[in-house]
Structure 1
Amino acid sequence: MNIKGNIHSIETCGTVDGPGIRFVIFTQGCPLRCQYCHNPDTWKTNEGNRITVDELIAKIKKYKSYMKFSAGGVTLTGGEPLLQPEFAKELFKKCKEENIHTTIDTSGFISLEKITDVLEYTDLVLLDIKSFNPTLYKDLTGVSNNPTIKLAKYLSDINKLTWIRHVIVPNLTDKEEDLIALAEFLSSLNNIEKVELLPFHKMGEYKWEELGYKYKLKNTSTPSEETMEMAVKIFKERNVNVIYE
């Protein structure tokens, strides 16, 4: 049986979702409602385009030379790609048959039992941790951070290479005590290659307006250089490899 995935869009030569040049697949559907989401058009699970794994692999193979030259590969992102675990597993399994590097970009809000098979065919996990503070996380996303923290610990247990992504939002995720708590948690894990600190931006605001959603962060600015430097220092002081560009 050729499994189908529900896909929002495809970027054939992405450079920000994992190493090298990547074939990036944006899946449709997400259980989170992040206040700063720049892809709110991926939220609804009943939208998107159905496409088979074989159809995708045929497209992906056209870019193998770019991937090989740049040490790139395929990235599944979203939305939340782990809402479609059977599709993700089958796609990555066939990527590995083609010797293509696989990366999954996830919030981690999914039952761990449903995704362990996917991780067997995953080379790199990009784990988005919105906040280590459970109250703030719920306010930011509408859901609990328990599954995300559980996944982070599991990835460490199985020594799965992981990059952490954390968005710095002024007056929300830039509090020193919350950053310290996150940095100390990550320093206890043994599989974190790096942490990417991402300054908040409003490039997706127009999508919220087009969809008729209320954008709560309309008056929120990009974090200052001083704020970003403070955050970087917190992670470095705890021997966590941190990237901010």
Structure 2
Amino acid sequence: MSVPLFASQSPAQLRQAIRHGVWRKETSGLAAGFVQVNLVILPEQDASEFHRFCQKNPKPCPLIAVSEVGNPFIPALGADLDIRSDVPRYKVFRDGEVLAEPDDITDLWRDDLVTFAIGCSFTFEHSLIENGIAIRHIEQNRNVPMYRTSVQTAQSGPFHGPLVVTMRPMKAADAIRAIQITSRFPGVHGAPVHIGDPALIGIFDLSRPDYGDAVDIHDDELPVFWACGVTPQAALSQARPALCITHAPGHMLMTDLRNNDFSIL
């Protein structure tokens, strides 16, 4: 199946393709008009403190939904949606270290696990494109570049660490318009957190992202940075829970929720 065909499919169709191993790539540009989410899955004993971490850091960790304990289904996110199989690639952490990156976690599922669905900036990319703003990583068929910054998140118990951001290069006029557009989506990171000189937020080489892929930046463009839902993964490396499962950066869970449901205008 080709990428254009995938791009035209519904979230439910895409989840089926992922579940059956047909699609294992990044999800940027897919499911236009629908919300994509980051995932953090933790044992119940760690879930309350992580929930507070999200509440203290709503910009990088905007909560969309939280599962019932031990339930791999979140009906509010979509019909026939299975947390264990519907993400193209996962990351499994034990004691803060990455143990594996499987494409299915059914064998790892436990009755004490709680899933957190966190807003993703891929959601507002479709609105940017509809307004004539090009998204470089989509144009170049790459994963969005993500960087750890020198900005620290608000700590909650053992959870703390640097803010992680995504970067999209834009001309100045497009950056201004992007601020206006993404400000309407506070539930999926909202407006940028920084524009311009990356060194001011502790990023010294845009050609070497911490996650994702580098993209071309033209001489007449500015780097525009949004808070990123990979931020919890940096906090997990500090908290070092006995077990944690997340999405692999750029490989999101696609929901049946519509982008417009998260627009404040």
- TM-score, normalised by the number of residues in structure 2: 0.29
- TM-score, normalised by the number of residues in structure 1: 0.30
Task: Name the structure where helix makes up a greater proportion of residues.
Answer: 1
